[in-house]
Amino acid sequence: MERLILHENAASGNCYKIRLTAALLGLPLDRREYDTMKGETRTPEFLASINANGRIPVLQIGERFLPESNAACWYLAEGSRLIPEDRFEQADMLRWMFFEQYNHEPNVATLRFWLLFVGESKLSAFQRGQIAAKRAGGEAALALMDEHLARQQWLVGEGATLADIVLYAYTHVSEGGGFRLRDYRHICGWLERIEALPGYVTMA
């Protein structure tokens, strides 16, 4: 495989997903750190050459650039055990990955960012006005996962897939956003199963 460089911020769960996928697959990954709070992903150079969307993570593969965390995980895991071969299971894995970006990340990750990194006292009135809705949306996403994990060990099929990895990233640090993980006991067992996978690396 061509040389892989992850353009990232180490505190971001979206970036961690990619590191965790690479670690579970034993793929070497170079890392470039950006301070998003200082606008380092909005410079003209970054927008022109790395990601016109001004966001990290971006996975660099040789001279090509791949934004969107879940797409980068897909690239790394292609052909591996982390993507089911069965047609329905593969689509069902993507179902959870789209759920992650639509229902989970904008609530669970955003509240964590606001409360842990920005600080509640520094939030704008607009942001503060969204806290209750994001709390409810995040709790609904976690409850849906918990209900599903009451019936099976992994989100899709009989083993860990990218669905588990990408939803693990912000779920396991959701207490930083004020979510109470102990309310979701099936999620807690699932977090432990992920942490026991050979090659697992922590976020820090």
Residue 128 to residue 141: CA distance in whole angstroms: 20
Residue whose CB is less far from a second copy, 88 or 117: 88
Residue whose CB is less far from a second copy, 69 or 171: 69
Residue 198 to residue 129: CA distance in whole angstroms: 42
Q: In DSSP terms, which residues pair with 5 in a beta bridge? A: 30, 60
Q: How far is the CB of 108 from a second copy (least distance, A)?
A: 14
Q: How far is the CB of 16 from a second copy (least distance, A)?
A: 16
Q: How far is the CB of 136 from a second copy (least distance, A)?
A: 12
Q: How far is the CB of 204 from a second copy (least distance, A)?
A: 25
CA distance to 5, 9, 87, 173, per residue, from 40 (Å):
17, 10, 40, 24
Residue with tokens 């380092």: 40
Residue whose CB is less far from a second copy, 139 or 200: 139
* Beta strand pairing call for 58-61 and 30-33: unpaired
**Site residues for a second copy per CB under 8 A:** 52-53, 61, 64, 66-72, 74-75, 78, 87-88, 90-92, 94-95, 97-99, 101-103, 105-106, 126, 129-130, 133, 144, 147-148
Residue whose CB is less far from a second copy, 105 or 194: 105
DSSP state of 59: E
Contact predicate 142/182, CB 8 Å: no
Q: How far is the CB of 97 from a second copy (least distance, A)?
A: 8
